[in-house]
Amino acid sequence: MPDGLIIKALSGYYYVSEVDSEGVPRPEEPVVQCRARGIFKKRGVSPLVGDQVVYSLTENGEGMVDEIKPRATELIRPPVANVQLAVLLFSLREPDMNLQLLDKFLVHIEHAGLEAVICLTKQDLLEEHQGGNDSTAAVKELYEEIGYEVIVTSSRTGKGTEWLRERLAGEISVFAGQSGVGKSSMLNALRPGLSLETSEISMRLGRGRHTTRHVELIPLESGGYVADTPGFSQLDFLELGVEELSSCFREFVPLAAGCKFRGCTHTHEPFCKVLEAVDKGTVAASRYNHYKQFLEEMKDKKRRN
Q: Which parts are annotated binding residues for Zn(2+)?
A: 259, 264, 266, 272
* Beta pairing partners, 54: 3, 67
Is the separation of the CB atoms in 215 and 49 below 8 Å? yes
Is the separation of the CB atoms in 160 and 153 below 8 Å? yes
How far CA 270 is from CA of 53, 157, 264, 267, in Å, comes to 52, 51, 9, 9
Q: Which of 175, 181, 237 has the alpha carbon at shortest distance from 210? A: 181
Phi and psi (nearest 5°) for 52?
Answer: -85, 125
In angstroms, the CA 174 to CA 217 distance is 9
In angstroms, the CA 88 to CA 178 distance is 9
Residues contributing to the annotated binding site: 121-124, 177-185, 259, 264, 266, 272
Residues contributing to the annotated binding site for GTP: 121-124, 177-185
